[in-house]
Amino acid sequence: MTTKVAVIGSGNIGTDLMIKILRLSESLEIAAMVGIDPESDGLARARRLKVATTHEGVDRLVTMDEFADVSIVFDATSAGAHRHHDEILRPLGRTVVDLTPAAVGPYVVPPVNGQAHLDAGNVNMVTCGGQATIPIVAAVAAVTPVHYGEIVASISSRSAGPGTRANIDEFTETTSSAIEKVGGAARGKAIIVLNPAEPPLIMRDTVYCLVGDCDDAAIATSVEEMVARVQMYVPGYRLKQKVQFDRVPTDDPLHALLPAASRSGAATKVSVFLEVEGAAHYLPAYAGNLDIMTSAALRTAERMAAHRSGKVTVR
């Protein structure tokens, strides 16, 4: 038996998610697609695929016949809109999987804490940069304390729609917070770059972790194992090169980021370089930022559905 879901947001992310549910999921069934622009490509595609639609937003969704059987609602709109949607949906007993940076519910990054919030009424998928980089911070933190974690997410400006552009501040705040709360870093910082290059460049991410004295081989192995776990649901996720280790001299300004008691000791900067190629279900392969978000949301909802039905949870 499948779990019925709805998608709010007929832009790039919502449309890609709808197509993934239709093509890839054996446990989820899309019942409705919601937008606010009657001429959007997402709603047009949904209609062609025989998915019920409305361009009158969440207020119309909750009155549709198809909504009666919906258990999980994906929100692929904006941080501001999400808060309104959550206020309407949660009292109706629907679980909300939030693909905006609103962070109303707990953060979920599937290979790191994917089992932690299966009964939550609202979960937040952080950001595209967070989904790509937080697993790496967590992999380093599994071996040694991460005193400071910094990520730089570079995406093609073509793959950044109006929602992404309107939420840049929320992106940096939400990702920085999740680097700490999920990734395990004592302090986190996030930077996003919208790259205007033509032809468009694939998503690239850089992760810097400041640690003390460490076992290089153990960290490299942990990172490689984590990359393999992400690849289970995002095949285009990969390391660009081997994990890099740089010893930090005691007079380097980076030592100021260490706890006071550790500033006179050894320090190492761990650098990890990634790229994310999209599956091109809706947008071109360079839009790996969209692919990793929708893939993570799909993975999370499938785990929730399996948990609630008593089936073996998806890995």
| 164 and 90 in a common domain | no
Q: Which residue has the tokens 């552009």?
A: 165
189, 276: one domain: yes
Q: What is the pLDDT of residue 307?
A: 94
* 94 labelled binding-site residue: no
Q: Do 152 and 258 lie in a common domain?
A: yes
Peptide bond before residue 199 is cis, with ω within 30 degrees of 0: yes
Q: Is position 165 annotated in a ligand binding site? A: yes
Q: Is residue 151 part of a domain?
A: yes
- The pLDDT score that the predictor gives to residue 266 is 84
Is 289 marked as binding a ligand?
Answer: yes
CATH number at residue 138: 3.30.360.10
User: Looking at residue 263, what is its pLDDT?
Assistant: 75
- Residue 24 CB neighbour total at 10 angstroms: 14
Cβ(236)–Cβ(278) under 8 Å?
A: yes
**Do 155 and 213 belong together in one domain?**
yes
121 Cβ neighbours under 8 A, 6+ residues apart: 90, 95, 96, 105
Which run of H or of E encompasses 6? strand 3-8
**DSSP single-letter state for residue 198:** S
Do 215 and 302 lie in one domain? The reply is no
Same domain? 107 vs 208:
no
Q: Is 154 one of the annotated binding-site residues? A: no
Q: What is the pLDDT of residue 315?
A: 54
Q: Which tens digit of pLDDT belongs to each residue from 160-192?
A: 877 778 778 888 999 999 999 999 999 999 999
**How does 165-194 read in b/e, with b if 16+ C-beta sit within 10 Å?**
eebeebbbbbbbbbbbbbbbbbebbbebee
Residues 140 and 272 grouped into a single domain: yes
Tell me: the pLDDT tens digits for 85-120?
A: 999 999 999 999 999 989 999 999 999 999 999 999
Residue from 157, 145, 153 nearest 210 by CA? 145
The pLDDT value recorded for residue 265 is: 79
- Going by C-beta distance under 8 Å and a sequence separation of 6 or more, which residues neighbour residue 70? 4, 5, 6, 31, 32, 94
236 annotated as a binding-site residue: no
User: Do 102 and 149 have their domain in common?
Assistant: no
Give the count of beta carbons closer than 10 Å to the beta carbon of residue 47.
12
- pLDDT under 70 in the chain at which residues? 261, 312-315
- Options 51, 61, 128, 192, the catalytic residue: 128
- Is 268 domain-assigned? yes
| 293: CB partners within 8 A, 6+ apart | 13, 99, 125, 127, 128, 131
Query: Reduced to 3 states, what is the DSSP secondary structure of residue 257?
Result: helix
Residue 113 near residue 182, CB atoms below 8 Å: yes
Task: Report the CATH number at residue 92.
Answer: 3.40.50.720
Q: Are residues 147 and 277 in the same domain?
A: yes
Look up 214 and say whether it is catalytic: no
Based on the domain organization, do 281 and 133 belong to the same domain? yes
pLDDT value for 271: 98
Cα dist from 25 to 35, 123, 173, 303, whole Å: 22, 19, 32, 11
Claim to verify: residue 121 and residue 139 sit in the same structural domain: no
Per-residue DSSP letters for 169-185?
Answer: HHHHHHHHHHHHHTT--
What separation, in Å, do the N-terminal and C-terminal C-alpha atoms of the chain show?
A: 19
* Distance separating alpha carbons of residues 195 and 97, to the nearest angstrom: 28
**What is the per-residue pLDDT for 313?**
57
Three-class SS state of 273? strand
Q: Is residue 257 part of a domain?
A: yes
Question: Are 270 and 156 found together in one domain?
Answer: yes
Residue 314 falls within a domain, yes or no? Answer: no
Number of domains in the chain: 2
Domain limits for position 95: 3-126+292-309
Helices (H), the chain: 12-24, 41-48, 57-61, 79-89, 110-113, 128-141, 162-166, 168-181, 216-231, 288-309
Residue 16 lies in a domain: yes
Q: Does the annotation flag 80 for ligand binding?
A: no
Sign of CA dihedral 299, 301, 303, 306: negative
